[in-house]
Amino acid sequence: MLSQFLNSRTIAVRQRAWDKAQAIRIAGELLVKQKLIDEKYIDEMVQAVEKLGPYIVLSPGIAFAHARPSQLVQRDCVSLVTLDPPVAFGHPRNDPVSVLFVLAARQANQHLSVMRDLAKLIIRPDFLPAMAQAGSEEELLKYLRSVDAQS
Amino acid sequence: MRRLEVICVCGFGLGTSLILKMQLDDVFKEAGIDAEVTAFDITGAAGMDADLFFTSAEFHDQLQAGTSSPVIEVHDFLDKQTLRDLAVPAAKKVMEQWQ
Enclosing H/E stretch for A63 = strand A62-66
**What does pTM read for this prediction?**
0.90
Q: Which residue of A has its CA nearest to B40?
A: A109
- pLDDT grade, residue A110 (50/70/90)? low
Residues in chain B: 99
pLDDT at B14: 64
Q: Find residue B36's DSSP bridge partners.
A: B5
| Residue B41 predicted with pLDDT over 90 | no
pLDDT at B43: 81
- d(C-alpha A72, C-alpha B15), whole Å: 17
- pLDDT grade, residue A1 (50/70/90)? confident
Chain A CB within 8 Å of residue B40 CB:
no
Q: Which residue of A has its CA nearest to B12?
A: A68
Coarse DSSP helix, strand, coil percentages of chain A, rounded to the nearest 5 percent: 45, 25, 35
B68: closest CA of chain A, how far (Å): 23
Q: Is the ipTM of this complex over 0.90?
A: no
A4: closest CA of chain B, how far (Å): 18
Chain B CB within 8 Å of residue A121 CB:
no
pLDDT at A9: 97
Chain B CB within 8 Å of residue A149 CB:
no
Interchain pair A66, B15: CB under 8 A: yes
Backbone angles phi, psi at B8, to 5 degrees: -105, 140
Region at B83 (left for phi over 0; alpha for psi -120 to 50; beta for the rest): alpha
Q: Evaluate whether A51 touches B69 at the Cβ level (below 8 Å).
A: no
Q: Could you give the domains of chain A? A: 2-150 (3.40.930.10)
Which residues on chain B are in Cβ contact (under 8 Å) with A115?
14-15, 18-19
Which residues on chain B are in Cβ contact (under 8 Å) with A109?
13-14
Which of A48, A59, A62 lies closest to B11 in CB terms? A48
pLDDT at A112: 55
* CATH number where B86 lies: 3.40.50.2300
Number of domains within chain B? 1
What domain range is B73 assigned to? 4-96
Interchain pair A59, B79: CB under 8 A: yes
